[in-house]
Amino acid sequence: MRERIIGNMLKEARLEKNWSQVRAALALDVTQAYLSMLEKGHRPVSERLVRKALKVLSLPPTALPLRSEEVEMRVSSQKRDFSAELSALGYPGFAYLRARRRRNPAEVLLDALNEPNLDARVAEGLPWLAMTYVDMDWAWLVRNAKVRDRQNRLGFAVFLASEVAEGKNDKERRESFDNTWNSWRVRGLRVKIRSATTL
C-alpha cells in the first residue's frame, strides 16, 4: 500500500517536470527498469532514494517514511528543535533559521502535539503544517494522536488550519483539506479527553 502511494508520488513528480523515466532514472542513479517498478509500487522505496527524489524531483516531504511505533516511543522522549524542523519544511515564520534535515510533516506534527511545553511560536506553525501538507498520512497521524490522547490538540490545530485556508480565500486547498479531514472526523477523532490541556 505504502509502496504504491510513494510510487504514484514519484510518477507525479516526474511527470510534473516533463521528464522521461530514462532521464529521471539517470538523475536518481537507478536503472529505468527499477524506476518503473518503483513507480508501479512493485518495490519499496528506500529512505535514501526518497531523500534524493526530494532534491531531484521536488518530491513532497510527505513521501518520507514514517517511523515505526517502537522507534516512536524512544524518539519522542528526546528534546526536539521544532522551529528548525518547521523551517526545513518551508514554514515562513522560521525562514530565517538554517534549514536542517527534513522529516515527514506528519511526524513533526505528532511530536509537536506531544510536547508538554511547546513554544508559542512553534504552536502557531502547526496549523500551517496541517494546511500545507494536506496529503500527509492522516491515518498514521490520527492513530498515533489517539494513542497518546492528543486528539484534542490535533483537532484544534486542524480547525485553525481550516480557518486559515478560509481566510486566505484558498478555495481549492480548503476543499481538499475539508474532504480529507471530514473522513477522519467521521471515524471518531471527536472523541475528547476530559481534562483541559494547553496547546
Partner 1 sequence: MTQTERAWLREHRSPAAAHWNLLTDMKGKHLASEGQSDAKTGTANAIEMGISLSGDLTEDQRLLLNPAPGHFGMTDALTWLRSSDRKTLRRRVEAWPQIGRNTVFSADYLQLLQDLYTN
Nearer to partner 1, 16 or 163 (CB): 163
x/- map, 106-145, partner 1, by CB under 8 A: -------------xxx-xx--xx-----------------
Q: Is 134 helix (H, G, I), strand (E, B) or coil?
A: coil
By the 8 A CB rule, do 95 and 54 touch? Answer: no
> What is the closest distance, in whole angstroms, from the C-beta atom of residue 134 to partner 1 in the complex?
16
Q: How far is CA 77 from CA 116, 182, 198, in A?
A: 11, 31, 19
Cell of residue 36, nine digits: 518503473
Given the complex with partner 1, which of 94 and 181 has the nearer CB atom? 94
- Using the contact rule CB under 8 A, the part of the chain among 28-36, 102-110, 162-170, 178-186 near partner 1 is 162-170
Number of residues that bind partner 1 (CB under 8 A): 32
User: Is residue 171 close enough to count as binding partner 1 by CB under 8 A?
Assistant: no
The alpha carbons of the chain give a radius of gyration, in whole angstroms, of 18
Phi, psi of 13 (to 5 degrees): -65, -40
Sign of the Cα pseudo-torsion (133, 186, 160, 157, in order): negative
Q: How far apart are the first and last CA of the chain?
A: 33
Of 65-73, 102-110, 152-160, 174-182, the window that binds partner 1 (rule: CB under 8 A) is: 152-160
- Reduce the DSSP state of residue 60 to 3 states and report it: coil
Minimum gap (Å) between residue 86 Cβ and partner 1:
11
Minimum gap (Å) between residue 90 Cβ and partner 1: 11
Judged by the rule CB under 8 A, the positions of this chain that interact with partner 1 are 92-96, 119-121, 123-124, 127-128, 152-153, 155-156, 159-160, 162-164, 166-168, 192-199
